[in-house]
Amino acid sequence: MFLWGARQTGKSTLLRQLFPDARRYDLLLADTYRRLLGNPSLIRQECESENLTHKTQKFPIIIDEIQKVPELLDEIHWLIENKGIRFILSGSSARKLKRGHGNMLGGRAARCELFPLVSPEIPDFSLSKALTYGLLPPHYTSAEPAGLIRDYIGNYLKEEIAAEALTRNVPAFNRFLEVAAMSNGEVVNYVNIASECSVSAPTVKGHFQILEDTLIGRTLPAYSKRGKRRLISTPKFYFFDTGIVGQLARRGNVEPGTELFGRAFEHFILMEIWAHSEYSGKHYPVFYWRTSSQIEVDVVLGDHEVAIEIKGTGEARDYHLKGIRAFKDDYVCRHYIAVSLDRQPRKTSDGIEILPWRVFLDRLWGGKIV
């Protein structure tokens, strides 16, 4: 299997806990990297020297950051086919493999993704901390997360990801990251972002693709099944972590009652939904819905099975439900839900459930939403 996930989501920690006695090749270690880069067949020779087969192998062989030596995949392919040996291949980017036409083991390897922490994994979960500092394990658990987030952005996003972009104009790429963060959760407008970054629209489009390939962000597609209204089809873009967005956009602490809180709250709930879609094994599609007259629903799950409006307000009122009521006129759903900071669950006379965010997440992870 491939285990993909952005840097510091905890891939290596998870695999060490699950398989403490497994053989491991960590390609972030310079000596291991140089040894296997120079001679990828060493991994086959070492397996054959121990007569490893599917019958004798106790634990999967783990290779961290597989994208750094794509040539290993041909050797792994051979060992799977001829010896039945099992591997877990972790990485933070499939871009180099795809770009180099690397062997992706088609049909022979499952694909799993590790997200930042999600609420059920954290005892005494703090919403304010999650919205301000994000949910990467080192950041959420640190007493001084701000410095760690700055280092992550400086050492990883602005260096390694810039290298993935194959760009010599690093200042323009850094500016792109900041502008993309400030427009996080909005409909992507390549021309406007290009103008702010002083680069071309195709360049900006390519930069967004790099962020997706390196799992630093993902697009939220527009729901396109026509009802009674004309629809917008342009996707939105979200970074993979609220803390990274906050630092890039320089927004500071996220205070309740502010516009920033509402945007970060929506981002957080959406990340929980994406993670649940993967971890539950249901892999249901996630969309947003917007009409040409700018009526919107934040999240649509599946084939209009569930419609969700996300409001960072202490009490969801009728005017907050305008979008979900318009959607209700066009599509029949199993659930119409508004997630908010309300203290108690309730239901409107026309069947819209108002759920406090904790209740919504309990139901989501309990399999009661989708």
pLDDT in tens, 134-149: 999 999 999 999 999 9
Cα 370 to Cα 360: distance, rounded to the nearest angstrom = 12
- For the stretch 256-302, pLDDT in tens is 889 999 999 999 999 999 999 999 999 999 999 999 999 999 999 99
Do 176 and 317 lie in one domain? The reply is yes
**Does 100 score more than 60 pLDDT?**
no
Domain boundary among 81, 113, 145: 113
Q: What is the pLDDT of residue 263?
A: 96
Question: Does 370 reside within a domain?
Answer: no
Do 211 and 335 lie in one domain? The reply is yes
Neighbours of 340 (CB within 10 A): 22
Do 167 and 135 lie in one domain? The reply is yes
Of the two residues 314 and 99, the one the predictor is more confident about is: 314
Do 246 and 134 lie in one domain? The reply is yes
Residue type, 369: I
Question: Which CATH number covers residue 92?
Answer: 3.40.50.300
Do 303 and 165 lie in one domain? The reply is yes
Do 91 and 157 lie in one domain? The reply is no
Domains held by the chain: number = 2
Do 140 and 64 lie in one domain? The reply is no
- pLDDT bin (cut points 50, 70, 90) of residue 165 is low
Question: Does 252 reside within a domain?
Answer: yes
Cα 356 to Cα 331: distance, rounded to the nearest angstrom = 24
Do 243 and 277 lie in one domain? The reply is yes
Residue with tokens 């954290």: 122
The boundaries of the domain holding residue 211 are: 121-365
Do 221 and 295 lie in one domain? The reply is yes
Q: What is the pLDDT of residue 168?
A: 67
Cα 360 to Cα 252: distance, rounded to the nearest angstrom = 27
Question: Does 53 reside within a domain?
Answer: yes
For 34, residues 6+ apart whose C-beta sits below 8 A from its C-beta are none
Do 295 and 352 lie in one domain? The reply is yes
Domain boundary among 86, 113, 140: 113
Question: Does 300 reside within a domain?
Answer: yes
